[in-house]
Amino acid sequence: MLDIQNLSKSFGALTATDNVSLTVKKGTIHALIGPNGAGKTTLISQISGYLTPDSGSITFDGQDLLALPAHKRPHAGLVRSFQITSVIPEFTVRDNVALVLQSLNNQVFRIFAKASADREERAKAEAILERTGLSDEADTRAQNLAHGQKRQLEIAMALAADPKLLLLDEPMAGMGVDESRSLTDLLNSLRDTTTMLLVEHDMDVVFSLADEISVLVYGKIIATDTPEAIRTNRDVQEAYLGTHELHNEEPA
Amino acid sequence: MLSEKHLPAFYALGALLLIILPWILTAADSSYLISTATRLVIFAIGAVSLDLLIGYTGLVSFGHAAFFGVGAYVVGILAFHNFEETTFLGFDGTLTGLIVLPLAILISALFALIIGALALRTKGVYFIMITLSFGQMLFFLFVSLEAYGGDDGMMMFEGRNILPAIDLNDRITFYYFCLAIFTAFFLFCHRLVRSKFGRVLAAIRQNEDRMTSIGIRPYSAKLLIFVIAGAGAGLAGALMANHTEFVSPGLTHWTKSGDLMIVVILGGIGTLIGPVMGAFVFLLLEEFLPIIFHELGMDLLKEHWRVVFGPILILIVLFAKTGLYGLIFKKEG
């Protein structure tokens, strides 16, 4: 589904992505973990087109992704969510989702179609809000949502684009325990239809969802393996997991 | 203070007032003010078109008078060649309104397309500066057109454009013609800002960076609204040329762009009726401040009425964040 080869990106003297190769197989949830500043978001941004890599290649669904402008990638089925919540603040929750549907239906330039009159779009948006647990907030302005709900909206917007591959940049960041659990369930229910690349700090979530895990440290992938193998990997423990209490936890 | 629920009634009242205005002015023996009313309606078209950019899309364009000037010059140049019986790039001049007015819209849209395509590659302060520069470039271009009067501009010696069954040279008919076009343009904008495209513009204003990730290229949407707004200003310019039967580079000067901007901010950005009210108050002050000071015998202030005009504008903007609109209407939600 997604094949990254020898990808590099530097900001001056800092090499944020250092010769990274990574393959996300279709139908899997692939987690990307690593300490703060390892370059996870930088990698996500290159896949989604917000940053241009210095060298290397990315193939998505058989096509050369780097030749595809960033705004066309969601139309090809590649959708990202943001670590720092980024919604349309003055829009209602429903309109945030409806905007995504409008874009994916290629209706951006409809000058005469009244936005509030599209019942089909409205129904679709509400179905997505139902799935993401935001139905009660459909008419709330996004800026008035609680933090956890904003995170849910972020996911709802990503799902509205009906992605083949979902790039999730710390979806649980700042969520409460219950919200985090229900989002984990939601992502789990999507695994049959959607391939995911998941960046996440919450190791419970990572180990309960991931089919494969890659570990990024200082811009380099130091290991890619099954969750069980990652848990016992010496390099990983030294570089990263040593600071966590993972070895005490049971895999899901 | 009214609530936004009263807007339809406010629209109706405003429309009624504009419709009966010529009668009132004639009855009050002030029919010379019909000319001011016509200017108001034309100015409002320009201001509403600019608000599509500033208020609805968050694009602070400081060169909007450029398109106003292009529209006016299309009318002026065609009238000039019609009078001289010469050609422009092989085309005959004409006063035929059904050709001239659409052409003015089209050519100002074309200028907006070219200028927008370049200017929209920048953002924020740079966008303000680059639109200002393009506006001044056009100003100096028109100044350099010696054949068309250069600095001094040119008169339309044969009068206004000619339309079937509508005599634009009649003062009152021309007022109603401009009012009809203003109404059509206003309704068009009203529809546009509530359309799906309008929703995209609002989203761009609030969070442009997010657009790419949901598959929208902000540049394309911004360019389209820039062209639409430029065409609107061009239409206003074409009407203004007809109104004054005179075009000059002054129409495109940056202070005219500033005037339009002041009108939009004064009236209330992001509201279509706001800029119309802004145009109303702006022209009212411009028309009557000198007269008032003259009556009061304050000749120095009569000469320098802008000294008073400025602070009045500042006070309104200071005390009402959304301008006159905010003074009159309480926002819902």
Tell me, rounded to whole angstroms, the distance of Cα A77 from its chain centroid. Answer: 13
Are A141 and B333 an interchain contact pair (Cβ–Cβ within 8 Å)?
yes
Look up residue B234 and give its amino acid. G
In this prediction, residue A130 carries a pLDDT of 94
Q: Is the pLDDT of residue A20 over 90?
A: yes
Cα A145 to Cα A189: distance, rounded to the nearest angstrom: 25
Please tell me which of the candidates A99, A112, A114 has its beta carbon nearest to residue B214: A99
Cα A109 to Cα B200: distance, rounded to the nearest angstrom: 8
Question: Residue B245's closest CA among B171, B156, B178?
Answer: B156
Give all strands (DSSP E) within chain A, no chain letters: 2-11, 14-24, 29-33, 55-60, 63-64, 78-80, 165-169, 195-199, 212-217, 220-225
Fold classification of A2-88+163-248 is Rossmann fold (3.40.50)
Instruction: Find where tokens 């250092």 sit.
Output: A18
Cα B214 to Cα B191: distance, rounded to the nearest angstrom: 24
Q: Partners of A10 in the beta sheet? A: A15
Residues of A within 8 A of B199 (CB-CB) are 91, 95, 98-99, 102, 115
Question: What share of chain A in percent tops pLDDT 90?
Answer: 73
Are A74 and B215 an interchain contact pair (Cβ–Cβ within 8 Å)?
yes
In this prediction, residue B159 carries a pLDDT of 93
Q: What angle do CA B120, A115, B118 make, to 5 degrees?
A: 10
Residues of B within 8 A of A77 (CB-CB) are none
Contacts 24+ apart (CB under 8 A), B94-98: B95/B158, B95/B159, B95/B160, B95/B161, B95/B162, B96/B161, B96/B162, B97/B161, B97/B162, B97/B163, B97/B168, B98/B163, B98/B164
Residues of B within 8 A of A88 (CB-CB) are 202-203, 206-207, 210
Question: Residue A96's closest CA among A50, A148, A127, A138?
Answer: A138
Are B196 and A90 an interchain contact pair (Cβ–Cβ within 8 Å)?
no
In this prediction, residue B316 carries a pLDDT of 81
Taking only the tens place, the pLDDT of each residue in A64-81 is 999 999 999 999 999 999
Taking only the tens place, the pLDDT of each residue in A170-216 is 998 888 888 889 899 999 988 888 999 999 988 889 999 999 999 99
Query: How many Cβ atoms are within 10 Å of B6's Cβ, its own excluded?
Result: 14
Q: Is the pLDDT of residue A249 over 60?
A: no
Tokens of A241: 């997991």
Are A109 and B221 an interchain contact pair (Cβ–Cβ within 8 Å)?
yes
Residues of A within 8 A of B197 (CB-CB) are 108-111
Please tell me which of the candidates A50, A86, A161 has its beta carbon nearest to residue B215: A161
Q: What is the DSSP string of A146-182?
A: -HHHHHHHHHHHHHHT--SEEEEESTTTT--HHHHHH
Residues of A within 8 A of B196 (CB-CB) are 102, 107-108, 110, 113-115, 118
Are B206 and A88 an interchain contact pair (Cβ–Cβ within 8 Å)?
yes
| Helix/strand/coil (H/E/C) assignment for every residue in B130-192 | HHHHHHHHHHHHHHHCHHHCHHHCEECCCCCCEECCECCCCHHHHHHHHHHHHHHHHHHHHHH
Please tell me which of the candidates A70, A71, A111 has its beta carbon nearest to residue B197: A111
Q: What is the pLDDT along chain B (333 residues), one digit of tens a residue?
A: 788 889 999 999 999 999 999 999 999 988 889 999 999 999 999 999 999 999 999 999 999 999 999 999 999 999 999 998 998 888 889 999 999 999 999 999 999 999 999 999 999 999 999 999 999 999 999 999 999 999 999 999 999 999 999 999 999 999 999 999 999 999 999 999 999 999 999 999 999 999 999 999 999 999 999 999 999 999 999 999 999 999 999 999 999 999 999 999 999 999 999 999 999 999 988 888 888 888 888 888 888 888 888 888 888 878 777 888 988 888 764
Segments making up each domain of chain A, as ranges: 2-88+163-248
Mean pLDDT across chain A: 91
Residues of A within 8 A of B194 (CB-CB) are 114-116
Tokens of B227: 């062209």
Mean pLDDT computed over A115-131: 95
Please tell me which of the candidates A69, A91, A103 has its beta carbon nearest to residue B214: A103
Cα B14 to Cα B274: distance, rounded to the nearest angstrom: 12
| Chain B contacts to A (CB-CB under 8 A) | 191-192, 194-200, 202-203, 206-207, 209-217, 220-221, 224, 333
In this prediction, residue B31 carries a pLDDT of 85
Distances (CA, A) of B212 to A80, A185, B209: 10, 28, 7
In this prediction, residue B307 carries a pLDDT of 86
Burial A143-152 (b: 16+ CB within 10 A, else e): eebeebbbbb
In this prediction, residue B121 carries a pLDDT of 96
Question: Residue B237's closest CA among B77, B116, B14, B6?
Answer: B77
In this prediction, residue B333 carries a pLDDT of 47
Residues of A within 8 A of B215 (CB-CB) are 71-75, 100, 103-104, 161
Tokens of B250: 């002054």
